[in-house]
Amino acid sequence: MHIDWWTLALQTVNVLILIWLLARFFFRPVTEIVAKRQQEASKLLDDAARARRDAIEARSKAEQERASVVAEREKLITQAHNAAQREKQNMLAQAAQEIGKRRDEADAAIARSQAAAEAAVIERAASLAVDVARRLLDRFRAPDLLATFIDETCRDLRTLSPQARQNLVSSATAEHPIEVVSAMPLSDDNKRQIGATLKEVFGRELPLAFRSDPGIINGLELQAQNSIIRNSWRADLDRIRRELKP
């Protein structure tokens, strides 16, 4: 196995630059976003505390009214006494129900807001991290890196499972050839290398169509009707984005 030390060194420099950019431009905005969400959560907590105080005042007022009813009870006849007792019980039940309702609504609102704030922060952080990485990697489209991706793709083809091989072969026809997609146009030697590897793996030549797509940034993708083999920076960034999402 031959190791291209220049390629390895370039990739190491790329990773160091990426780490520096993330430290400088990613964590500071994320910290500000988290602080803002914490302020919003604090405001919700203050609103909930204000609602609780209002409920306590309402209960205190209800208790004062009950005391007045109790004081007046001694002056009323038995019928008025019974009516006052029923009214008192109704008021207490309504006050307790209202207090419980407000408390439950406040707790639910706080929980929803916190969950939404956390999800928004994580989504924003994931998108920002992937966008920064995409912009950085977009600057590096060196042909030697493409050669490395081609070698890795050929190695992956040799390790395909029988089911994956069957899916790829069954979907490759003259009308629907296997598309070999690269970030930049492949040389004739690259095309011959890929074609030879496919013939070695599957025992016969498969119809191929080559095209370039700068959107994959760098790497190689083999796309058939019902199968796809992705070995590109775009695929790596898509995987990172999915892993960062909650």
Sequence spans of domains, the chain: 5-137, 143-244
The number of beta carbons lying within 10 Å of the beta carbon of residue 129 is 19
Give the per-residue pLDDT at 238: 82
pLDDT (0 to 100) of residue 210: 93
Give residue 70's pLDDT.
67
Residue 36's φ and ψ, nearest 5 degrees, are -65, -45
d(CA 94, CA 90): 6
Q: What is the mean pLDDT of the chain?
A: 76
Q: What is the pLDDT of residues 143-177, one digit of tens each?
A: 566 777 788 888 888 888 888 888 888 888 888 89
Q: Give tens-digit pLDDT for 61-109.
A: 877 777 776 677 677 777 767 777 787 788 777 877 888 787 777 777 7
CATH second-level architecture of 143-244?
2-Layer Sandwich (3.30)
DSSP string, 149-197: HHHHHHHHHHT--HHHHHHHHHH--SSSPEEEEESSPPPHHHHHHHHHH
Q: Which of 1-5, 27-31, 210-214 has the lowest mean pLDDT?
A: 1-5
Strand segments, DSSP code E, in the chain are: 178-182, 208-212, 219-223, 228-232
Higher pLDDT, 214 or 102: 214
Q: What is the mean pLDDT of residues 195-202?
A: 85
